[in-house]
Amino acid sequence: MQERNRAYRRWRRAVKKSAVKYYSTAGVYFMTPRVQTDRKILGIISQTPKNCGCWMCANMRKGHGLTFSETKGRLQASIGLGLEEYFD
């Protein structure tokens, strides 16, 4: 198994930042393609690639709630712990 130390994480972060230069959320537009050079913007976009928290970009549970399987699993767990009763 490979070692994932701090040097490896630093290298992966540098690779990510070099790729982020060309993202449209970093301020690169298709009509006038130019590479983003501001280090602060590159750092922000490399950590959080989505530029908003709307229902389309953010985690789906925040906008739509739990999925059916998650709801069912939580209900079964609460029944197993005796927190709720099961009626068939």
> What does each of the 88 residues of the chain score in pLDDT, given as a tens digit?
677 899 999 999 999 988 888 877 667 665 666 777 888 888 888 887 666 667 667 666 666 778 888 888 888 888 888 877 766 5
Same domain, 34 and 71: no
Number of domains in the chain: 2
Same domain, 47 and 72: no
What is the structure's pLDDT at 64? Answer: 73
Same domain, 28 and 1: yes
- DSSP symbol at 27: T
What is the structure's pLDDT at 63? Answer: 66
Alpha carbon distance 41, 51 (integer Å)? 11
Global pTM reads 0.51
Same domain, 44 and 56: no
What is the structure's pLDDT at 34? Answer: 76
Same domain, 6 and 35: yes
**What b/e readout covers 5-43, taking b as 16+ CB neighbours within 10 angstroms?**
eeeeeeeeeeeeeeebbebebbeeeeeeeeebeeeebbe
Same domain, 21 and 46: yes
Residue 75 belongs to domain spanning:
52-88
Same domain, 66 and 42: no
